Structures are given as C-alpha cells and as structure tokens.
Structure 1
Amino acid sequence: MTAREAHLVELVDAEGRALGTATVAESHQAPGRLHRAFSVFLRDEFGQVLLQQRAAVKTRFPLRWANSCCGHPLPGEPLPVAASRRLIEELGVEGVELTEVGVYAYYAEDPATGRVEYEYDHVLVGDLPAGVHPTPDPDEVADLRWVSVPMLLAEIESDSRSYAPWLLGVTQRLALEARPAQLDGR
C-alpha cells in the first residue's frame, strides 16, 4: 500500500454532509464508501482543458484519460487548499486560482484492479497562466494533452473505455459553467 492509500478521507452522505473518516484504501475497497473528492480542470487561454493519462501504477483506472488533476481533501481541509496541493504534486503547477463549478456524485468499479470509486466529487476549474508549463510526476501521470470541451465530450461518447468513468460527469459540470460566459460574449 502506498503512503497516499493510508491518508484519511472524509466520508459523506448523499448531500455531502460529513459522517466520519476512513483511509483512501478502505474507502476504495468494494463495495466502496461514499467520500469527498475533487476533480480539477486547468484551462488554457483558448478555453481548452488539460487532460492527463493516469499513470500505470494508479490503483484505480490506470492509463485512462482523466481531468487535469484529482484527489481527496484531508478531513476538514478546504477544497482549494487540497486541490492546489495536488496540482503541485501531480503537475508541478502552482498559483492557479480555482473556482468550484458543481458536484458530481458517482459509483464506478474498476474491472482491472477490483477497486471502486464512490465519490462526492467537487468539480473545480482554473486558468493556467500563460507561460506556465506543467511538469508531471511520472508516478502520477503517463501523458498530457489539451482538448476543447466539445471535442472531449464527443470523444467520450465515441470511446468511453479510454476515459476514467467520472470524466463525462465532471466535464458536463464544466460545460454547464461555461455556457453563461459564452452567452454573455466573454
């Protein structure tokens, strides 16, 4: 078990209210325990989002494409603090202001590893400053690529097995957030 698997996560009810704690490993063993998580999207100046291909050593959904970064806040840790910590750990990116755009609760079983994701997932977005280039940790990230949100939604629809099971839901939350700005002409 990795050190990260021993970290505590916050167990929650269906409305996101804290109920207690468990380790990362315990919360991801079948049948799973609903817990707080976050998914971060980084955007470039063209509105494209950064995807990461999860490293082969990940215990859940290795080598699948996912959002820029994800993780779990420690019990009581503010989401922006936890997400900023993971951006540094996974991508070597600091100083991005993050905004929450929604929540996506889901359950998914990983047939390859037998682990499960049962998460109350806060979706966060931030704009990557011009000139900042991610330097991914190879133990976390196998590859990176930029894609537009409409293209990503089309790709997931045509080949969902290449993507983490939460990616469609969190991308839909992001797409809903982007619509008002597009309507305002921003």
Structure 2
Amino acid sequence: MTGSREAHLVELVDALGKPTGAATVDEAHRAPGRLHRAFSVFLRDPSGRVLLQQRAAVKTRFPLRWANTCCGHPLPGEAPATAAARRLVEEIGAHGVDLTETGVYSYYAEDPSTGRVEYEYDHVLVGDASADLGLMIDSDEVAAVRWVSIEELTAGLSDDPRSYAPWLRGVTGSLIRHLEAQPRPADDLAEPSGG
C-alpha cells in the first residue's frame, strides 16, 4: 500500500504556499526535494493529551520515528482539511473528526537512513476526539500509537529528539501557540458593569 502512495500526486508550492505545479510523492521526496503542500494532524482527548503515531517500518521517510497523529499530502487543488479527514480514516480509522487549522510550518529535513527528504509547506490541524476512539490501525502506515500530554511530548522532543520525526517539534509549536491563543473558560465570563 505504501508503494502505491508514492505514485500519488502532490501539489508543488512556492515559499508562500502558492501552487506551482505537481509531482509524485516519490519525485517530491528525492534529494534535493521539491517544496510541496502537506498536512500534520493532532487529535486531542478531553484531558488535553495528543495521540502520537510511530511511523511504520516500511515508510520511505523517517520509519519508526514518533510523529503526530497523522500526516499526508493533499491532492493538487484539494483542501488540506479534506485530505486530512480522509487520511485519519485510512491510517487509524478515526471518522467524523472536525479539524481546525492552527497554522503552517515549513521545513526541510534529510533522512540519513533512506536518503529521502521532506521539504514541506505543512498545514497543522487539530481535532478533538475521545481517548477510546476504537482505532483501526493500518499497519502499512502505523507501527504503534500512544496518548501523551503536551508536557510529556515537549520533554521527549528535548530529551530524545532522534526518536521523533524532525517536523514534530515545529508542528507541536504551532499547536501550542494555537491552544494558548484560545480563550480560557473564565475569560468568557464578563464582569457585570456597574450602573
């Protein structure tokens, strides 16, 4: 299954995210790489933990590294949230999750173990889900999953960065900034004005 995904088309973009053409997944990830649109999804449970996935051993880029819940590439002209919702179903069996974009993280990373590169204009998305999703894992894509707190994740990224995909620090930063910008429940209660 992974090999057939290497033939799918991705949307090439410039540094501002403007489409410039298309290439196959395989072509876009061969050195020196071609900047293309991607997405990274985090699912959060009610306690604020995020679901991480360990990338399958057969992945052509950063196999067996821990990453966010789901990653992928929209087809040319496809909205990142549409593609992300599809991939959540395909990779872990998570249906009907409403996704919110938290920002874009552009990065370049070389995988010394496979010789491939990631050069991505990465839309970061978050969705709320229960911790007992009833996941159906595609073993061609995912080796394992685990729920972690944001604090555990940031500590792991600092203590053992080689266990994690190179984009995870950047997309986690986008998620944290998004969460910090959200109004707190107490902020929603306006003080009554006198008079």
User: Given the two structures, how large is their TM-score scaled by the length of structure 1?
Assistant: 0.96
- Alpha-carbon deviation of 1:150? 1.9
Query: Once the two structures are aligned, what percentage of the paired residues are identical?
Result: 66
Partner of 2:48: 47
1:9-37 alpha-carbon deviations (Å, 9 max, x no partner): 00000000000000000000000000000
Most deviating of 64-73 and 135-144: 135-144
Equivalent pair of 1:40/1:69 in contact (CA under 8 Å) = yes
1:8-67 alpha-carbon deviations (Å, 9 max, x no partner): 000000000000000000000000000000000000010100000000000000000000
SS in 1 for 2:156: helix
- Alpha-carbon deviation of 1:185? 4.3
* RMSD between aligned residues: 1.4
| 2:101 corresponds to 1:100 | yes
Equivalent pair of 1:65/1:163 in contact (CA under 8 Å) = yes
Partner of 1:149: 150
Partner of 2:64: 63
- Alpha-carbon deviation of 1:183? 4.6
Q: 5+ unaligned residues in a row in structure 2: which ranges?
A: 188-195
2-structure distance, mates of 1:57, 1:86:
17
Q: How many residues are matched?
A: 186
Q: 5+ unaligned residues in a row in structure 1: which ranges?
A: none
2-structure distance, mates of 1:120, 1:66:
16
2-structure distance, mates of 1:75, 1:26:
15
| 2:115 corresponds to 1:114 | yes
2-structure distance, mates of 1:130, 1:162:
23
- Alpha-carbon deviation of 1:81? 1.1
User: Given the two structures, how large is their TM-score scaled by the length of structure 2?
Assistant: 0.92
- Alpha-carbon deviation of 1:184? 5.0
- Alpha-carbon deviation of 1:182? 6.3
SS in 1 for 2:3: coil
